[in-house]
Chain A
């Protein structure tokens, strides 16, 4: 195995394009190193992206959105107050990853590219309508939605040599907020049994825009437009909440494992969706 740490995206793309064997990009390494050690992936070349200018930076864009360098660790995100105000759900999802030590390294892009259906930040990014800037093989840039990338357990729709340059969050509407919740059997350091993100905007007290995403209840993280539909035009009255739960449960196609049975996951998805919706609603109202 060889290790390189290029200092520009174009250089990284060029090295990857010319590499003969298998290539692995390295952000925080909290998945890469575990997989390297377990023998799951034995790349012939590791390309460390952290020396590329901008990869560890978070910047506010001219339109009020956010551009998060692909290797930015969770701890950096957690420390940015304005980011937490705009996207509390994204930040709270990042704060749930592993431990303090893991958060010192783990990035949103790595969480996305690793392709786990239980990845904590992916439902939050999906519900937020985040986009991803990608540098392809011949250094051309393109922008995809999170939904375009999510594919199957351990896989994404990225081309093997595509590099994620940044995660982009849209500008937050005046009266909007998001929330992410997960269920685990312990209080920390475990993999989501169910995760749910809700993002919404209000018009007065009424939900005018919404999106709902679920994690760990299907082969991939999923957006549930039918569930979002149940919230539109409501003030989260009991009936809307009941419909939200039912839509989320209907969207589940989970597995049985030691952390949770199929029935349990389906049931919890409905509960978490209601709680996440209430939290997002509350936050949105407080922002006015």
Chain B
């Protein structure tokens, strides 16, 4: 199998990797780059646990070939905190207990971050539709939505 050499940027860090052309971005993040925040819930675009930000848009890493990353800017959950300082979304998720098993959490944090970068004052309906592709089997979503709304409010006042 011919390996491909890919040069990209992940959370602002120039990154190079070798990959099999069939590997997805999720495979490479988790298995080659040791960035295991993004999770594989389904591998078919249905659960959103693998959400990453590619060129400003939130997408499913399981539906992207790693080879497509050449020259792109990728953000993952690992890039959200600033050293020891958690992102406001991360803080609010802890405060509101918006997670139980935590499998869905990185994907939801990344997707919510992308939302708050587009609009800092989303309605509850907007938050629910935006996160419709992020499945959570534990929380019942309510605390998640409240945490996102609260983080948006805090970020507006910063």
Interface, chain A (partner B; CB < 8 A): 1-3, 5, 26, 28-30, 33-34, 36-38, 46, 48, 50, 73, 75, 98-102, 104-105, 187-189
Contacts and interface: CB of A to CB of B under 8 A. Distances in A.
Contacts, number: 86
A50 B64 contact: no
A33 B24 contact: yes
A48 B111 CA distance: 25
B54 interface: yes
Interface residues of B, number: 32
A187 B63 CA distance: 23
B45 A34 contact: yes
11 contacts: A1-B22, A26-B65, A29-B65, A30-B45, A33-B62, A33-B64, A38-B44, A101-B48, A101-B58, A102-B45, A188-B129
Which among A33, A50, A189 has the highest number of chain B CB atoms within 10 Å? A33
Contacts of A105: 57, 59-60, 63-64
A101 B21 contact: no
Interface of B: 2, 4, 21-22, 24, 43-46, 48, 51, 54, 57-60, 62-65, 67-68, 70, 111, 114-115, 129-134
B24 A101 contact: no
Given A46-B65, A48-B67, 8 more contacts: A5-B67, A5-B70, A50-B68, A73-B57, A101-B59, A102-B60, A105-B57, A189-B133
Contacts of A98: 45, 133
Contacts of A33: 24, 45, 62-65
Given A33-B62, A34-B63, A100-B111, A3 B21 contact: yes
Nearest to B61: A101
A48 B48 contact: no
B65 A99 contact: no
A75 B64 CA distance: 16
A99 B57 contact: no
A117 B45 CA distance: 20
B106 to A, nearest CB: 13
B145 to A, nearest CB: 15
A188 to B, nearest CB: 4
Most chain B beta carbons < 10 A, residue from A38, A99, A188: A99
